[in-house]
Every structure is written in structure tokens, then in C-alpha cells.
Amino acid sequence: MKQKKASLSFGDVFNDPKPSIMLSKDEKGYEIGPHGVSEAILSIFGIKKTPRFIKFENVREIDRVLLLYLGGIDQKRYLSSFDTLDSFQKLKINGFPTTVIARIKNNKIISPEQSLLGYSISPKEKKVFATLDEMCLSEHKLIDNGFPMKKSETNDMTNNKHRYEYFGGKRLTEEDLLSYRALPEKVEGTLNAVAIDCEMIETSMGDELSRLSVIGYDEKVLLDEYYKPHGEIVDLRTSISGIVMENIANATKYPENAIDSLSVFADQHTIIIGHSLENDMKALKLLHTKIIDTSIIYNNEPNIYYPKKPGLGFLYQKYFGLNIREKGCSHDSIEDAVTSLKLAKLSMNEAVSLINTAPIVPEMLSSFIATGKKVDVISNSKISTYHELNPEMIRCKLIDDDEARLSALIETLPETDSSFMFCHFNTLETCNLEDDESKAIGFYNTIIEKVLPLVPKDTALFVYSGCGNKKRINDLRDNRSKAIEMNNVKQGLLWAFCP
């Protein structure tokens, strides 16, 4: 039987096989997730099987993939800005863009970058603390939980919503902090650690400090002092604070004297222990960074999820089987300070806290390294925790400004010998809504305009937008509106083609 002759391809005739990327005909009805984008890229190099939503031709002619992660463009915002995105129109080839749906867990959108690269940005493990110093909160944690802190170049470590914002709290302004002060830098005879608790009353001048209790590490009372308010008393809040008029009448000091009283036992090097201490720091008008807060240490309680924190009474009952006080009784700042101290000590014997583990190389990047391929990463230093792992194979340029990141990409692209380049832009993910978003989208258009002519012929270009600006969800209170907006925000976009 005569064998059928194979048909000649375009490349056989002209010896110029041109690679191309297109959406598959059966792509409709198939939900693409961020991991699917990763699989598509890895399949170009034979590392993964090609997912069904995408089709390649002459894939062997592709030597490199450039993935531009332009975080923050969801489908709705893309369509509404369509007329201004002229550079993006050049990417509309072979059926692209297509929608990529971000994952949702516990009613929150998981970072598409995390799903794409295949790693947990903050892997955690249970921790038994060896020392009190290990328990002290980082500057980022202090800010996240609303502790009074002056701004610096290094201490605002997140663009996400802070914990205190979920409860209507606001960060104190520089003007607010003018009335705050720190403990003395160093005082002879002060202690390594003390536990404190404060009680406040309502006056015509707002909340004012009315009692400060200070406990030594041996759980003995060092100070228990009441204060006269400056304003007229509106509510002693006796049922909560335990303060009665007799306490105020017998007081000889004012709230601003409390830091002087505390400085007999504590200086700037002293660790201060307590529960939800941001409120006590504000009552004292105290700036302090060596803080152990048991409401944050005990972060592994069932059914208590971020941003909620476990209550002091709940923790004492769970771990010690005791009630702090009888039902219906008011707070006692001595009891509360002692309870916080006991809980802090317990955390050095029991694994009550989850902490971040050492960083890991993301699965996607590990796949390239395993086959001997080099990777270039141009990203944000707050995101790329793996930058010091295998630096010969994963060359990281960590730049916290998007425009500077673009310059680094333009400089690196023509000279690199990597098989995969990942460049993360996040202006649109982190900016304020509406006016700022419009500017950010314009900047993203400029990125495409400047990068597109520089992409080598042997390179496949993927542009992925992750998801929309999550602030659109966070700023909504109505559950129905949140659900609608979450559905919009989770719909990122993907473009892919060979120049």
C-alpha cells in the first residue's frame, strides 16, 4: 500500500517557521485560573502539558518568555478605559485578551501573583517562643494594628488595608503625635519587661486616662495609679472601667504624668506586655516599639480570623481554665495586666502563635531552575521574599517604584540570557480609586508602548493583569454590593502573542 505523503508546512517551503500563540477553539466554557497561565508558559519549554485553553504553533522557535504582570486591570475597568488603551490594541491577536479568574478563599481574593507563581507569600508554622524579644511586634505589625508611630521611610510595609481600618480606625497624623512622647532612652534600674493595663473614662475632652497598672515579671504590682481628668466627667464607665468617683477625687496626678510614673520602671529598652495595647498606648500618649501584644501572639484560634483578635477573657478561660472576673463584674487593670503576662509566659511553652517561615522559591521558578534555565525577576522588594535564594539562577532586581522598574526592564530585556523574565507592576493594584486609577491605567499603556518594540523575535510576550483593585471591595459595607464587586474584581485579563 502506498504511503500518504505528509503535507508541507509554511516553514518547510520558506524555511521561516514563525511561532504563534492563540486561544483554542474549545476555550469557551473553560474557566482559566492564574495557575493555567503558569502552565501555558511552562508548556512552551516542555515542562508542563499545554492547557486546553491555548494553542501554540512552531513553539520550538520560542527561546524566551516575557511575562508582564500589570496588576489591577479587571475586565470591567479594561472595557471602560478601552478608548485610552491604544497600545493594548496591538495585543489583540488570535482571540486575546481572555478572562482569567482569580481564586477566592474565605470570601477573599487570593493574590493572583501567588497562584500564578505557585507559592504561599507568607507560609506559616506554629511557634514556641524562646525569648521575650522574639515575641516583640515588628514595626509593620505595630502600624497594622493601629499603634501610634511616627512615619519613616521603612516602617510602612504594606499597601493592603490595615487591621485597624476594618474597625473604623484611622492612623494618627503627625499633628496628633505632637502630644505624644517616648520613655527615657536609658534609665538605671529599669526592668527588662513589665505588663501594663489602662482604664479610660469619657470626659468633655474625649477619652482620658484614669488608671494605670504596672506589673513586674514576677506578677507583683509595681504601680497602680489614678488620674484626674482635664475635662468635665461625662461617663465614668464604671461597669467596664471599674472607676468610681472616689478614685478620681483622691487622685493627685493628671494623665500626662503617667509616663513619668511608668519611667521609674521602664525606659525605651523595656518590653511592655499587654492585650490590645494600641488602646493603652493612645491613652498614655506613649510612643514605644518594644511591644508584646497577646491579642496578636495568639493568632491561631479556631473561628477567629483576621482581622478579628481573641479576647483576653476567652484566652484565659481556654488556656488556664479560669475566669478573669465574675460574670457582670467590671474590668480591673491589675487583673488584666497579670493575665496578659501569664499568657505571654505561656507562649514560651506552648505553640500558640503562627509565624512566617523561611521564604521558598516559587514552584514556577523552581521548574525553570530544575531544567537549567535562568530567570530574571524585576519586582517589588516587599513581595519577592525569595530574592536571596539561588541568585545565580534567579536574578532579582527589587525596585519599589514602578517607573524605575520599567527603566530596569528596558535596560535588561535586550541583554538577558534568561529563558523567563517576570516583571511585576503594581501601581493600579495599590492606588486610590477613580482619578488615580485613570492615571495608573495610562501608565500601563505607556509600559506596553515602550516595551513592545524591544521584545526580541524569539520571545513570547504574556501580559497578565491579575485582578482588579481590591480596595473596591474593602470600601463597601453592603454584602450584596461586595459580592457584585468581588465578581468584577476577580476577573483579570491575559494577552499572549509572539512579535
Query: What is the per-residue pLDDT for 410?
Result: 96
Q: Please check whether residue 212 is in contact with residue 196, taking contact to mean a CB–CB distance below 8 angstroms.
A: yes
DSSP secondary structure string, 1-68? -PPPPPPPPHHHHHS-PPPEEEE-GGGTT----HHHHHHHHHHHTTSSPPPTTEEEESGGG--EEEEE
Query: What is the per-residue pLDDT for 160?
Result: 59
3-class state of residue 125 by DSSP: strand
Query: What is the per-residue pLDDT for 328?
Result: 56
Q: Looking at residues 465-481, what average pLDDT do you find?
A: 84
Query: What is the per-residue pLDDT for 157?
Result: 47
pLDDT digits (tens, 9 = 90+) for 334-387: 999 999 999 999 999 999 998 877 778 899 999 999 999 999 999 987 667 788
Report field, pTM of the whole predicted structure over 0.75: no
Query: What is the per-residue pLDDT for 140?
Result: 85
High-pLDDT (> 70) share of the chain, %: 92
Q: Does residue 52 register a pLDDT over 70?
A: yes
Q: Please check whether residue 423 is in contact with residue 397, taking contact to mean a CB–CB distance below 8 angstroms.
A: no
**Residue 108: closest CA among 149, 57, 157, 161:** 161
Query: What is the per-residue pLDDT for 419?
Result: 96
What architecture is domain 126-356? 2-Layer Sandwich (3.30)
Confidence of residue 26 (pLDDT cuts 50, 70, 90): low
pLDDT digits (tens, 9 = 90+) for 85-125: 999 999 999 999 999 999 998 788 988 998 999 976 556 78
CATH 3.40.720.10 domain locations along the chain: 10-121+359-497
CATH 3.30.420.10 domain locations along the chain: 126-356
Return the exposure string of 201-213: e unless at least 16 CB atoms fall within 10 Å of the residue's CB, then b: bbbeeebbbbbbb
CATH topology of domain 10-121+359-497: Alkaline Phosphatase, subunit A (3.40.720)
Q: Looking at residues 294-300, what average pLDDT do you find?
A: 94
Confidence of residue 27 (pLDDT cuts 50, 70, 90): low
Q: Does residue 7 register a pLDDT over 50?
A: no
Helix and strand totals (H; E) in the chain: 19, 21
Query: What is the per-residue pLDDT for 74?
Result: 92
pLDDT digits (tens, 9 = 90+) for 394-421: 999 999 889 999 999 999 998 899 999 9
High-pLDDT (> 90) share of the chain, %: 64
Residue at grid coordinates 538605671: 188
- The span from the CA of 169 to the CA of 164, in Å, is 5
